[in-house]
Amino acid sequence: MSAERHREIERKFLVRKLPEDLTAFPSTEISQGYLVSLDDGLQVRLRKKRKQYSLTYKRGLGNVREEREVALTDEQFATLWPATEGKRLSKTRYEIPFGDRVVEIDVYSGKHDGLIVAEVEFDDEESAINFQPPDWLGEDVTGDPRYSNQLLAS
């Protein structure tokens, strides 16, 4: 996320072929649930990543979205989390360095067990447009509702 401008600039890809040594890369278990998630991209998301809790507001669709994120205390998280019941997902996120970028590979568990999606974040739109993905990434599905987390969590 661009902290200054509260914009998230990101592309999302299918994965053609997983890196053979995937588990050798840093990984994190992520649980997230939605207080709100609408078709127009408006969402308020709670996330637990290791012992770190956060609330994120997002608005818009496509590769540039407004994003505002705050860290939550465990108490704040515990109060709000029950309201996300039925709108949750969990995944393991692997971080694969590629040039001066990091490809984040999300391997979903639970209801979407086996689904794999990759994301790359950028500092500006030009970098996003010019990015040449590695050959092990597949189709660009940025903005494709079938791979939106709000749909996956419903």
Q: How many CB atoms lie within 10 A of CB 85?
A: 8
* Residue whose CB is less far from its own copies, 69 or 121: 69
Among 1, 14, 22, 35, binds its own copies (CB under 8 A): 35
Provide the residue count of the chain.
154
Interaction between residue 52 and its own copies (CB under 8 A): no
Q: Which is nearer to its own copies, 3 or 99 (CB)?
A: 3
Candidate residues 1, 55, 115, 116; the one interacting with its own copies per rule CB under 8 A:
55
Nearer to its own copies, 1 or 102 (CB): 1
Q: Measured between alpha carbons, how far is 106 from 152 in angstroms, rounded to an integer?
A: 12
Question: What gap in Å lies between CA 100 and CA 116, rounded to an integer?
Answer: 22
Closest CA to 31 of 108, 103, 83: 108
Q: Give CA angle at 134 (129, 137), nearest 5°.
A: 90
Q: Choosing from 34, 53, 94, 147, which is the catalytic residue?
A: 34
Quick check: is 34 catalytic? yes
- Find the binder of its own copies among 24, 70, 129, 151 (CB under 8 A): 70
- Residue nearer to its own copies on the CB measure, 15 or 153: 153
- For the CB of residue 109, give the shortest distance to its own copies in the complex, in Å: 26
HSE at residue 94, side-chain half, CA atoms within 13 A, is 17
For residue 126, give the H/E element and its range.
helix 125-130
Catalytic center residues: 34
Q: Give the interface with its own copies as residue ranges (CB under 8 A).
A: 6, 35-36, 42, 44, 55, 57, 59, 66, 68-72, 75-76, 79-80, 82-83
